[in-house]
Amino acid sequence: MKLKLRLYRKDCTLFGWVEYQDSKLRAEKDEDKILARNSKFTISSYHSPSLGYDELFVKGSCETRDDNMFLYIYSSIDEAINIANHIKSLVKEINSVDSSWDDDIERIL
């Protein structure tokens, strides 16, 4: 496993944190390292964990912020669920494992 997230949804809000991240996935100073991307969403490493409309940043060059929680409020519950599904799919791609993504992301939806 290269990346493990805790991802939760409460109404329109997605939030969580990085449980585990392989050091090879971490961006160096002033680097934006794209880890996985599809037509709607990107998972990258840059500075510290944060969630935006269409991008999740995982642990990056600022190690003192590794435990930061990420959060974003979407305009609808359906949109939040859709983005959560994109995140799950991309984490599975990053891990490149045939096992269930439920092992890689613990969630309450």
Q: What does the angle CA 59 – CA 70 – CA 79 come to, to the nearest 5 degrees?
A: 125
Residues 105 and 88 sit within 8 Å (Cβ to Cβ)? yes
Token pair of 1 as six digits? 């496993």
In tens digits, what is the pLDDT along the chain, a chain of 109 residues?
999 999 999 999 999 999 999 999 999 988 899 999 999 999 999 999 999 999 999 999 999 999 999 999 999 999 999 999 999 999 999 998 544 445 555 555 5
Residues 66 and 51 sit within 8 Å (Cβ to Cβ)? no
Query: pTM of the predicted model, to two decimals?
Result: 0.86
Q: What residue ranges do the domains of the chain occupy?
A: 1-69
